[in-house]
Amino acid sequence: MSDTVLSVNNLSVDYRTERGAVQALRDVSLAVPRGGIVGIVGESGCGKSTLINAIIRLLAGNAGITGGEMIFEGRDLLGLSPDAMRRLRGDRLSMVFQDPMTSLNPVLSIGAQMRDLQYRNRVSRREKNRRAVAMLEKVGIPDAPSRLTQYPHEFSGGMRQRIGIAMALLAEPALLIADEPTTALDATLEVQIIHLLQALQRDTGCAILFISHHLGVIAELCEQVVVMYAGRVVESGAVRDIFHRPAHPYTARLLECDPARIQKATRELPTIPGDIPDLIHPPTGCIFRERCPHAFDACVTPPPWRDWSDGQRALCHLEARP
């Protein structure tokens, strides 16, 4: 469908380790509409990094895709040759990474890196520089033309992240994947980057897949959100629905735990006791049942997808919202 830029269906990924196969992803499905902003929220071990690496087909050597498919702009990503995949990356599909310190090549100038990215375009060097400068100005780098000759270490963290975004959008991709782009930045910088992404998205019309564990940012930036836990999607839907009326106990508890949500000062903050389950020997039935305050007998069997209003769905046995 030309309405959906990326569609992941029932994706499962295992990692082969000495102790056994780690079920990093199980039956993960999500859809990013053309020009839409979808957020993925989850804590450590939920599989968001694995998911991203699977989409861009850069999984580690000991990882194996054991099921499912990924369709990007109508093409089956799993069926593409490495060359074809490489042509997609940086062109139709690009990425912004978490750590602005390490995602830029320290020994090349910004200008060189931005020209390199345009290798597919048969235009003059001057034209490439012009486009680079235009992009840098768009992301708010002051004095852009003189900055082209500078090196990453001459920029601060926030600037580097902007440069990373500029580089990702240089080729006008259909989908921008942002992997925790603000986690390493201060809160006041985070605000700037979020507003920048919003503005750029309006400008270029690209779709954004935004990964974060920061609930507040997801609420502000995204239209749709996917909640992941221990390698599975447990809930997905419109941001408004999920945040106001969560349908999965994990989402509900996660929202309760966010200190920003708690208006009255309290000395006893809510938490989710326990740890994520062992992904080599996951529990039978619902993956969350060992920590779920609402678990009951049915939870030892795999939970069904339950549809709520307007596209909201949760993987849970409960028939009423938690």
Partner 1 sequence: MSALLMVEDLRVRFPVRGSLPGQTRHIEAVAGVSLALAPGETLGIVGESGSGKTTLARAITGLTPVAAGSVRFRDRELVGLESRAWKGIRREVAMMFQDPVGSLSPRLTVRSLITEPFRIHGLKDRALDQEAKRLLGMVGLSTDFAGRFPFQLSGGQARRVGVARALALDPALIIADEPTAGLDVSVQGEILNLLARLQEELGLAILIITHNLNVVRHITDRMAIMYLGRVVESGPTEALFAAPRHPYTLALLSANPEPNPDAVMNRLEIPGEVPSLLNRPSGCEFHTRCPFRGAGCDREFPPASPEGVRRFHCYYPR
Binding site for partner 1 (CB under 8 A): 43-44, 156-159, 186-192, 195, 213, 215-220, 239-240, 243-244, 253-255, 257-263, 265-273, 275
Our CB check for partner 1 shows the closer of 67 and 216 to be 216
Contact present, 148 and 130 (Cβ < 8 Å): no
Our CB check for partner 1 shows the closer of 1 and 269 to be 269
Residue 97: CB minimum distance to partner 1, A: 18
Q: How far apart are CA 36 and CA 259, in angstroms?
A: 28
Residue 84: CB minimum distance to partner 1, A: 37
Strand order in the sheet with 4-17: 20-33, 4-17, 63-72, 75-76
Q: 129 to each of 96, 132, 302, how far by Cα in Å?
A: 21, 5, 55
Residue 270: CB minimum distance to partner 1, A: 6
Residue 192: CB minimum distance to partner 1, A: 6
**φ, ψ of residue 141 in degrees (nearest 5):** -90, 120
Our CB check for partner 1 shows the closer of 43 and 73 to be 43
**φ, ψ of residue 4 in degrees (nearest 5):** -110, 125
Residue 14: CB minimum distance to partner 1, A: 22
Amino acid at 112: A
Our CB check for partner 1 shows the closer of 68 and 158 to be 158
Our CB check for partner 1 shows the closer of 91 and 220 to be 220
Cβ burial 76-111 (10 Å sphere, 16+ → b, else e):
ebeebeeeebeebebebbbbbbbbbeebbeeeebbb
Among the residues of 98-214, which ranges form H helices? 110-117, 125-138, 144-147, 157-169, 187-204
DSSP H or E segment with residue 216:
helix 215-221
DSSP H or E segment with residue 218:
helix 215-221
Our CB check for partner 1 shows the closer of 83 and 268 to be 268
Q: Is 70 helix (H, G, I), strand (E, B) or coil?
A: strand
Residue 316: CB minimum distance to partner 1, A: 18
Residue 280: CB minimum distance to partner 1, A: 16
Our CB check for partner 1 shows the closer of 65 and 255 to be 255
Place of tokens 């920003």: 260
Residue 214: CB minimum distance to partner 1, A: 9
Q: 186 to each of 129, 142, 189, how far by Cα in Å?
A: 31, 20, 5
Our CB check for partner 1 shows the closer of 14 and 190 to be 190
